[in-house]
Amino acid sequence: MTEPSDQQPKQPIKVKMKVGNVEFEIEGTVDQTNEAVGKLLATVTEKLKESPLMGEREPVPPRAETCKVIIQRLWQEGWFSTARGLGEVHSEMARLGFHYDRTAVAHALIDLVKDGVLTREGKPRRYQYAQKRPPA
């Protein structure tokens, strides 16, 4: 008895791939498709090293700003002219694209209170932070 795979012709397969905004469709035997996909991915990888795909935005350079610096910027803009709670400060920072842990925000607020920039009023877990002095 002979092996069925030895006598049957190889069936063509179809592969669809999407890389970024570019879509590829390859059809052939398994061996042909494997080879073509390998070459395609190698070419795309090399091209991506040179430049991003068409239609993609350039990557935004990372911003290296500390939590304290961001809160100081809010103070300089007059945002603390009204007393704000930790939740409000955390939400405003997130709205601006800075996603710090709430404990980091709380520690930065305490540092600014110690520096004499902000004042803290209220009871624990319900503190309100306001500008102690207006920005220069």
Residue 111 lies in a domain: yes
Domain with 31, as residue range(s), is: 9-50
Residue 121 lies in a domain: yes
- Report the alpha-carbon distance of residue 28 to residue 39 in Å, rounded: 14
pLDDT in tens, 48-65: 667 655 555 666 556 568
89 is a domain residue = yes
Supply the pLDDT for residue 2: 47
Position 41 scores a pLDDT of 74
Q: Which of 63, 55, 67 is nearest to 100 (CA)?
A: 67
Predicted TM-score (pTM) of the model is: 0.54
Q: pLDDT per residue over 71-121, tens digit each?
A: 999 999 999 999 999 999 999 999 999 999 999 999 999 999 999 999 999
Above pLDDT 70, what percent of the chain?
79
Tell whether 83 and 118 lie within a shared domain. yes
Q: What pLDDT score was predicted for residue 1?
A: 47
Establish if 4 belongs to a structural domain: no
Number of domains in the chain: 2
Return the CA Rg of the chain.
Answer: 29
Q: Are residues 93 and 37 in the same domain?
A: no
With the C-alpha atoms ordered 19, 25, 31, 35, is the resulting torsion angle positive or negative? negative
pLDDT of res. 30:
72
136, part of any domain: no
Are 79 and 127 part of one and the same domain? yes
Query: Confidence band (pLDDT; 50, 70, 90) for 20?
Result: low
SS (H, E, C) the chain: CCCHHHHCCCCCEEEEEEECCEEEEEEECHHHHHHHHHHHHHHHHHHHHHCCCCCCCCCCCCCCCCHHHHHHHHHHCCHHHCCEEHHHHHHHHHHCCCCCCHHHHHHHHHHHHHCCCEEEECCCCCCEEEECCCCC
